[in-house]
Amino acid sequence: MKASKKATMVVAVSALLAASAWTIGAFADDRQGDSATAAQVSGVDAQLVERGRYLATVADCAACHTAKNGKPFAGGLGIESPIGRIYSTNITPDKTSGIGKYSYDDFDRAVRHGIARDGSTLYPAMPYASYAKVKPSDMQALYAYFMHGVQPIERANKATDIPWPLSMRWPLRFWRMAFAPEVATDDLPVSNDSVARGRYLVEGLAHCGACHTPRGWGLQEKALSDDGKTYLSGGVIDSFLAKNLRGDQKDGLGTWTQDEIFAFLKSGRTKHSAAFGGMSEVVENSMQHVNDADLTAIAAYLKTLAPLNPSAAVLTANASATDKLRAGTDRSNGALTFVDNCAACHRTSGSGYESTFPRIALSSTVNSNDPTSLIHIVLMGGEMPWTKTGPTHYGMPGFAKRLTDRDIADVLTFVRTSWGNQAPPVSADQVAKVRKSVGAASQPKRPENN
Residue 325: C-alpha distances to residues 342, 399, 415 (Å): 12, 21, 12
Burial of 290 (0-12, 13-18, 19+ CB in 10 A): buried
d(CA 78, CA 377): 22
The torsion of the CA quartet 227, 230, 231, 235, rounded to 10 degrees, works out to -170
Query: 326 φ, ψ to 5°?
Result: -70, -30
Q: Any binding-site annotation on 342?
A: yes
**CA proximity to 110, closest of 168, 37, 33:** 33
Question: Are 109 and 102 in contact, with CB atoms under 8 Å apart?
Answer: no
Residue 61's Cβ-count burial label (10 Å; 0-12, 13-18, 19+) is: buried
Name residue 393's amino acid: H
**Residue 376 annotated in ligand binding:** no
Give me the half-sphere count of Cα atoms (radius 13 Å) on the Cβ side of residue 66: 14
207 has binding-site annotation:
no
Q: Annotate 257-309 with DSSP letters as a single string.
A: -HHHHHHHHHHSB-SS-B--HHHHHHHHHTGGGS-HHHHHHHHHHHTTPPPS-
Q: Residue 65, annotated ligand binder?
A: yes
Distance CA 295, CA 279 (A): 15
List the one residue out of 258, 266, 265, 267 whose CA is nearest residue 356.
Answer: 267
Q: Is position 211 annotated in a ligand binding site?
A: yes
User: In angstroms, what CA-CA distances link 407 with 344, 349, 404, 427?
Assistant: 18, 20, 5, 10
The conformation of residue 395, written as its DSSP 8-state character, comes to: E
Q: 301 with 195: CB under 8 angstroms?
A: yes
127 burial level (CB within 10 Å; 0-12, 13-18, 19+): buried
- CA atoms within a 13 Å half-sphere pointing along the CA-CB vector of 379: 28
Which residue positions form the known binding site for heme c?
Answer: 61, 64-65, 208, 211-212, 342, 345-346
Which residue positions form the known binding site?
Answer: 61, 64-65, 208, 211-212, 342, 345-346
